[in-house]
Chain A
Amino acid sequence: MASVVKIGHVSLRTSDLDRMVAYYTEVLDFDLVDRGADAAYLAADIDHHCVAIMRAPAAEPVHLAFQIAGSIEDAEADLAKRGIAAERRTDPEPGIGALLRICDPEGNPLDLYPEIEHRRQRSATRRPQKLGHVCYFVGDVGRTVDFYREVLGFRWSDSIGDFFVFLRCAADHHTINLLRSDRPRRIHHIAYEMRDVSHVQQALDALGATTEHKVVWGPGRHGPGHNLFSYHRDPDQTTVELFTQLDVMLDERLGYYEPRPWHEDSPQRPKVWQPGPWVGNAWGPPAPEGFR
């Protein structure tokens, strides 16, 4: 199995690269690691980058990169055995020596790589500490979930009804969450992890000081994952979540999330949540009209 161990980066397309770079560096305090005329690479933690932004006239499907365990040859062999087309690319982007490009059943390109260059972090207090997860719309939830579980080794973390599924590739409750839509292949939101609640609060004050990036929902606490969430929009109107206190499953054999006082269940195991008013925000205020 081409076993995914972490989310590497999200690739975005924009018509206004300068504006997106300004947002990531000034509002979110990311490090700009590499910048060309038509591409910018931004980092939060020690990975060379966790966001790649390309100048392009139109959006493309959801484009994610995952780090895999084992060698690129083993992954290549496994994918071939499963009949999944994989294209090997050498020196595809800064910091990455080689990767395999595959497509998920929805037609979203996925890059798999075993290694990315590490860098020394700039001391900074405001910057998120990592890319946490990406939530995107899919046409066929069941088929997509099967693919990520069987081919890439993801585990099922929670569902809401039959239309929203949360999958993990490591301890964090979700690395990808898949939301059914008749307009698939779009990002619902990109989520960055903050250290703690006061880190979220700092970010909220920084967002509040902007005119373009005010909070569109939150802060509140989600049901599935129990993360303390807040949402705003980037300059291209992609929703960005800043979160903390996401559930973690420290050992798969244990089968339940590390106990937290806000858990409904004892222990809190993966389950299907019935849609309801407090699943979105346990604290109360639901997503406002216009939150999509």
Chain B
Amino acid sequence: MRLDHAAIRVSDIERAVAWYREVLGLVETGRGDGSVHLGCGEGTDLALVAGGVGLDHFAYAVGSGEELAGVRRQLHRAGLEARETVHDPEPDVTAAVDVSLPSGHLLQLVMPRSSPTYLHPSERTPSAAHAPLDVDHVNLAARDPNGLAMILTTHLAFRLSDVHRMEDGSVVGVWLRQGERHHDFAALAHRRDALHHVAFSLASATAMLEFADRLAARGQHAEYGIGRHGPGANLFLYLRDPDGNRVEVTAEMALVPETAPTRIWVGKDPYIIDVWAPYAPPKEFWEVT
């Protein structure tokens, strides 16, 4: 499986479409009933759904009907119901099932119409030159991040890359991967189950700095960053969409060998969130949607 797209809710869909196109550089790939699909160049990476804020669902792609059937059997044995999606399937998806996680987050499993490929910089139109390369990861707020990690590793073959816990053993963050990139899914402990952010990959650190400059030129400003995270070692810059949904742009995510043991980060050390700088993020950074 691989992360296919995230779907987030927005109060004013046209305003949001304009923001994600102009600020993030995404291109529109299609429209459904009350939703607009955007991508980095190949397929859909982000679906905007009219009404509310926060996460609608996040979707992982499976490679074949057999794999999808196998995953459904596995989920059924785990006591998790996988039902035919009630959403419009994305335009480039042939089948989709919804899985409600115990946290209330909705995981969608989709079968893309065509095999995913990689974006080649030389094949991008000049107008999309600043667009991210791909949706990178989703980071959920969860009352029980460890519980989510257990389900995903036990039943859906995720690997647990890193765990951040306090000295008393309470888990404050989990980072999981399907492939060899350090995380495509993460969850942070929070008093409610919600969305912390959706991240998009940029090609390089230079592209991140250029992103920050373009943002400033538009009269907009980052919430937090640029820095380098402890878990995943990725560079980060966080900003908010017009509804307050948080978006991260990121680069240089670590690659993790399949057999690497889980790395444990302990305590409230501020270097964990930014290994370059010890100062804490602004308190707004802990707001979720």
Contact = CB atoms under 8 A, between A and B. Distances in A.
Interface string A248-292: 000000000000011000000000000000100011110011100
* Chain A contact patch, size range: 20 to 34
A216 interface: yes
B226 A219 contact: yes
B216 A207 contact: no
A232 B239 CA distance: 25
A261 B237 CA distance: 20
Contacts of B228: 204-205, 208
B222 interface: yes
Contacts of A230: 276
Contact of A208 (B206, B212, B275): B275
Contact of A217 (B217, B221, B277): B277
B216 A285 contact: no
B243 interface: no
A232 B209 CA distance: 19
- Chain B CB count within 10 A is highest, among A208, A217, A230, A284, for A284
A285 B282 contact: yes
Nearest to A277: B221
Interface string A197-209: 1100100110110
Q: SS class of chain A's interface: helix, strand, loop or mixed? A: mixed
- Chain B CB count within 10 A is highest, among A205, A208, A228, for A208
Contacts of A219: 209, 226, 276
* Chain B contact patch, size range: 20 to 34
A215 interface: yes
Given A204-B276, A215-B276, A215-B277, A283 B205 contact: no
A63 interface: no
A149 interface: no
Nearest to A209: B275
B213 interface: yes
A197 B205 contact: yes
Contacts of A285: 222-225, 282
Given A214-B276, A217-B277, A283-B222, 8 more contacts: A197-B205, A197-B209, A208-B228, A217-B279, A219-B226, A283-B216, A284-B223, A284-B239
